[in-house]
A and B are shown apart, each in its own frame.
Chain A
Amino acid sequence: MEALRTKARELLESGAVKVVIGYGAGSDPQRVRALFARTADQVGQLVWDHRCRQNLAAYLIKPDVKALGRMAIVARPATLRTIMQYAAENQLANDSIVLLAVTDDGQIAELTSFAAIEEHLAALPRGLTPEQQQELDKIEKMSLDERWAFWSAEVGRCIKCYACRAACPLCYCHRCITDVNQPQWIPIASDPLGNLEWNVVRAMHLAGRCVDCGSCADACPEGIRIDLLNRLLGREALTQFGAEPGYSPRKEYALSSFKPDDKEEFIR
């Protein structure tokens, strides 16, 4: 934590950045909140622990935050992958932000170029944990009716607040598909169909792009396990197409490319 604060202080004092976006104490001991450190006082409030899960890259597109000037962001591996994915999607210029990656031994890796981020990520473990695999397997082993009952109950709680969309850095469309209203493509109502279509469309629009930060499920006020949908599709995109979003700044979007021999045993 001290190393992080020292680095943040350094970056601000040298004028290299105008704001360090990290985490600070939240409303209760279980929570932290995004902290936009610009003064020495605020730097002193930066924390780093297991509570620091929110993907801070979501603030990159926010006009009020962009206006603060060049930024440094405290980055978990998922946040680094987000930056890589932005690079792959031509959303960010090289060397435009500073990423502060905290390594396991408490050191701070200051990463600015896409090449540096790519190198840093290459050394980290990747893939789903056994627990994450088990969670997906548990649902896949259910019968059709059980799966439908489970997901109907989950998405039935959705209130269409779009916190999942707001928290996700890769949901950056200026006009989201739900906002398109001539015609109203995705129903606005938080009724069973509207909820199902919203959660399906978001999962599919992220398929092959999602970097599995989990911020969507963390943000959901109803505790809906939408991260499972994204993780399932991420696993499929990897197995079927070798898609590994967020590990390279080169565009490799699974759904805008193809192989002539993609598997198709289900097509008559």
Chain B
Amino acid sequence: MSEQKILQKKSLGELVQKLTAAGNRVLAPVRSGEQLGFEEVTSPRKVADDYIQTTRSAKAAVFPRYEPMLRFTLAGKDVSAEEIAPESRPTVLFGPHPCDAASFATLTAVFTWDSGDAYFEPKLAKLTVIGLSCTKGDAYCFCTSVGGGPGDTRGSDILLTPLDANQYLAEILTDKGRAVVAIAPTLFANANGQAKDRVLAKIAPRFTAKKIAERLPALFPKKEVWLEQSLRCVGCGCCAYVCPTCSCFDIQDERDRYGGVRMRCWDSCGFGLFTLHASGHNPRAVQSERWRQRVMHKFSYQPERLGVLGCVGCGRCSRSCPVDMNLGEHVGALAEAKA
């Protein structure tokens, strides 16, 4: 059950203040140089506006770049280890677009499909998402091809849509959303029957994810298809790291003679060593196989195994890719490829 409210843009400062006073960490898009990322803010002055998409996604709020898990000390032959309690702070994520809001569903599916991930779950439980609809997109956006849209409400606890230069339509969608309104009730005025479609960006779908999922298994053995698409890929971790739904991680010990910390940190299936076995065998020894795996994982394996798509069409991978591997374009081409 959702209700509509109106939030004035000039009230944002007070909203951030009240949320912070209530014990929340507020993350919002902040510009540093030419890049945008989600950082902690205490005032709306630092919040960026007039951008299409941030460089980094907001997934670090629930899946940090690196996270210590346990600390161990060595004394002679004795090893003592102590668990580091997973950190989780009440957090309000302000300003992710509907694509990013939808990404939490994929991350949740991965981190909770068999057992609850002790590092992810507490963070997600304490996360409130105040999404921001898109009034413009660019050539890299393809949310409408993967079941999303510029005003989609999935994943948001409150979805703001800028109706004009001064005010947002605020759709209060969940209990967490209602809790935010309860912290600052005077800032949310009643609204009735506001239509948001007129301000939303127009993103024409390029393909349908369902059709792609159906075609992919037959395309798997077509080496030429994957080779052609991936010839220019240089195998870095850009796409995986800026992606809001990529969740692969490595577990590493960082230590000195006396002890250390075991932590998990981001990993990328694009790296050559990602599937290198201790025997020396690598089942994905060439980039075309790693590219194929990336597409299959996001558009075929995850839908099949977890019931969620592994891509929200945010376009970050394509914008950041050093060699212009355009995922939307590639997947669109797969829809046309001869089976």
Q: Is the CB of B236 within 8 A of A163?
A: yes
Contact residues on B (Cβ < 8 Å of other chain), bracket: 35 or more
Which of B65, B236, B288, B329 lies in contact with A64, CB distance below 8 A?
A: B288
Determine the distance from Cα of A221 to Cα of B320 in the docked complex, in whole angstroms. 5
Chain B interface (Cβ within 8 Å of chain A)? 32-35, 55-56, 65-66, 138-140, 227, 230-232, 234-238, 240-242, 250, 252-254, 263, 265-266, 268, 271, 273, 285-288, 318, 320, 322-324, 326, 329
Q: Is the CB of A165 within 8 A of B236?
A: yes
Known interface pairs A27-B139, A189-B263, A190-B66; A64-B231 also in contact (CB < 8 Å): yes
Closest B residue, CB atoms, query A65: B231
A-B contact count (CB 8 A): 119
Known interface pairs A27-B318, A161-B241; A34-B232 also in contact (CB < 8 Å): yes
Can you list, as one digit per residue, whether each of A25-36 has a CB less than 8 Å from chain B (1) or not (0)? 011100111111
Q: Is the CB of A64 within 8 A of B265?
A: no
For A54, the chain B residues whose CB sits under 8 A away are: 322-323
Which of A65, A190, A221 lies in contact with B65, CB distance below 8 A?
A: A190
Give 29 CB contacts A-B under 8 Å: A27-B139, A31-B324, A33-B232, A34-B232, A36-B231, A54-B323, A64-B230, A64-B288, A153-B32, A157-B32, A159-B56, A159-B65, A160-B265, A162-B236, A162-B237, A163-B234, A163-B322, A166-B235, A166-B236, A167-B236, A181-B252, A184-B252, A188-B265, A191-B65, A215-B322, A219-B323, A221-B35, A221-B242, A222-B55
For A167, the chain B residues whose CB sits under 8 A away are: 234, 236, 322-323
Determine the distance from Cα of A51 to Cα of B231 in the docked complex, in whole angstroms. 20
Determine the distance from Cα of A181 to Cα of B238 in the docked complex, in whole angstroms. 22
Closest 3 CB pairs of A and B: A219-B322, A33-B324, A166-B234
Any chain B CB within 8 A of the CB of A218? yes
Any chain B CB within 8 A of the CB of A127? no
- How many Å from the CB of B234 to the closest CB on chain A? 4
Which of A26, A187, A223 lies in contact with B254, CB distance below 8 A?
A: A187
Determine the distance from Cα of A162 to Cα of B265 in the docked complex, in whole angstroms. 14
Determine the distance from Cα of A221 to Cα of B323 in the docked complex, in whole angstroms. 11
For A63, the chain B residues whose CB sits under 8 A away are: 285-287
Any chain B CB within 8 A of the CB of A268? no
Known interface pairs A28-B139, A189-B65; A223-B236 also in contact (CB < 8 Å): no
For B266, the chain A residues whose CB sits under 8 A away are: 159-160, 190
Closest B residue, CB atoms, query A176: B273
